[in-house]
Amino acid sequence: MRLLVAICILMVGGSATAMYSPSSGVVDLTPSNFQREVLNGDAVWIVEFYAPWCGHCQRLVPEYTKAAQALSGVVKVGAVNADEHRSLGGQYGVQGFPTIKIFGLDKKKPEDFNGQRTAQGIVDVAMRAVREKVNAQLSGKKSGGGGGGGGGGSSGSPDDVIELTDSNFEKLVLKSDDFWLVEFFAPWCGHCKNLAPHWQKAATELKGKIKMGALDATVHTVMASRYGVQGYPTIKYFNKGDVGDYDGGRTASDIVAWADDRAAANLPPPEVVQITDNSVLTSACKEHPICIITVLPHILDCQSKCRNNYIEILSRLGDKYKQKMWGWVWSEAMAQPELEQALDIGGFGYPALAALNAKKMQFALLKGSFSESGINEFLRDISYGRGRTAPVRGAELPAIQGVEAWDGQDGVLPEEEDIDLSDVDLDDFDDQGHVEL
């Protein structure tokens, strides 16, 4: 059974009455000023295509007006009476009312608005479009060029989107250990056509992280029916038996951001590794944006249960901050004196902890409580770029001494060596116990 779509369908005829007053902040757009104002202008535009008789359009007026006034001086907000100016609506594939489009980085390929039809929802999408344009211009790209129509950059490779069918879906997707994003589309669907360059660009950017596929649901109806596809495009994620609806935006940057968050959420917690040689520290610090270095008390001062408790705290925090992709390492007190000296560790006793940025050769030292809450507060500040930092002494990673990996056991005091007195002649000692030469 088809879902009833809550939009007003284009009809023949209708009133030519404008829905927005001059004081609303919404610019009345027509074929005579659209090219000049929207396409040739430098501003980002949010444009509604409406029909005066459409009830949904009428109910949108107060929210759209509120958004226009909030965006005044930042983003242009316009409206086209597409019932009167049908050629303009037809140029942009308008098939229902209201249709809202964003003319941002690439005016030739406006994006469909898919957010909440509230003032806040419209403002959020508008500001995202502004950020995309500013970031693109900052990197040297210009508005109006080809590419992904708001995603910026190249359009990606079509080979990165995997063609899925009823016959290969189970093998490639359902039996895979990879995280998949799958678009169910129809070749005639206008929204699918608009999504295509973004989907392609996102697939290229996400290559190696997740897999992205596309299935023509009008041809391969078995899989489309299995997953309840009733509209186009429908996007779903598949991850080791877990299936769900994609709930992100429809631009390449939206898709990449959503996928990055999902991929990071599914990462295993990082391992807290003992520093046993140079390679451990180099891997943790030079292959990650920040490395968390902990120096734990000597095993004789903090036996296996105590040490494991500390490592478990670090592991839980590593899991909490795993999206940051930090490296996590630990050392025993005084096992790596040059490292401790480089990070000013030791003066406050043990355990101690520092966050090191190896690229900048700057570190921040935990001065508060070495507890889960105390370390979490410290790491939260680090994640926000706050906290006092100091330069690493020597301005490079210090040399690491090779040590044996901890065997997980308690520490044992070394046994005192027994002295064999069988061959000692007591006549060699004087009255005070000194050896006579």
pLDDT tens-digit readout, 181-217: 999 999 999 999 999 999 999 898 888 778 999 999 9
pLDDT band at 432 (very low <50, low <70, confident <90, very high): low
In whole angstroms, what is the distance from residue 100 CA to residue 98 CA?
6
Could you give the percent of the chain with pLDDT greater than 90?
Answer: 51
Question: Which among 101, 51, 98, 109 is positioned nearest to 76, based on CA atoms?
Answer: 101
45, amino acid identity: W
Judge if the upstream peptide bond of residue 337 is cis by omega within 30 degrees of 0: no
pLDDT at 150 over 60: no
- Class of the 273-395 domain? alpha beta
Rounded (10°) angle between helices 119-138 and 55-70: 50
Same fold, 8-138 and 273-395: yes
192 catalytic? Reply is yes
Unique residue bearing structure tokens 């935990």: 366
User: What does pLDDT average to over the chain?
Assistant: 84
Q: What is the pLDDT of residue 433?
A: 52
pLDDT band at 169 (very low <50, low <70, confident <90, very high): very high
Q: Where are the beta strands (DSSP E) in 16-157?
A: 27-29, 45-50, 76-81, 96-97, 99-103, 111-112
**What fold, for 158-265?**
Glutaredoxin (3.40.30)
In whole angstroms, what is the distance from residue 428 CA to residue 71 CA?
101
More confident residue, 154 or 398: 398
CATH number of the domain located at residue range(s) 8-138 in this protein = 3.40.30.10
The mean pLDDT value for 215-226 works out to: 94
pLDDT at 275 over 50: yes
Ranges 126-130, 144-148, 343-347, 432-436: which has the least confidence: 144-148
pLDDT at 436 over 60: no
Question: Which among 123, 109, 116 is positioned nearest to 251, based on CA atoms?
Answer: 109
pLDDT tens-digit readout, 411-431: 988 776 655 656 656 565 566
User: Model pTM?
Assistant: 0.45
Q: Which of 57, 285, 291, 302 is catalytic?
A: 57
**What are the structural domain ranges in the chain?**
8-138, 158-265, 273-395
Q: What is the pLDDT of residue 434?
A: 53
Question: Which among 336, 340, 337 is positioned nearest to 352, based on CA atoms?
Answer: 340
Sign of CA dihedral 419, 423, 425, 428: negative
Unique residue bearing structure tokens 């025993």: 332
pLDDT band at 84 (very low <50, low <70, confident <90, very high): confident
pLDDT band at 148 (very low <50, low <70, confident <90, very high): very low
More confident residue, 23 or 7: 23
Q: Which of 54, 285, 291, 302 is catalytic?
A: 54
Q: What is the pLDDT of residue 417?
A: 61
189 catalytic? Reply is yes
Q: Which of 8, 192, 291, 302 is catalytic?
A: 192
Q: What is the pLDDT of residue 364?
A: 94
Could you give the percent of the chain with pLDDT greater than 70?
Answer: 85
Q: What is the pLDDT of residue 154?
A: 45
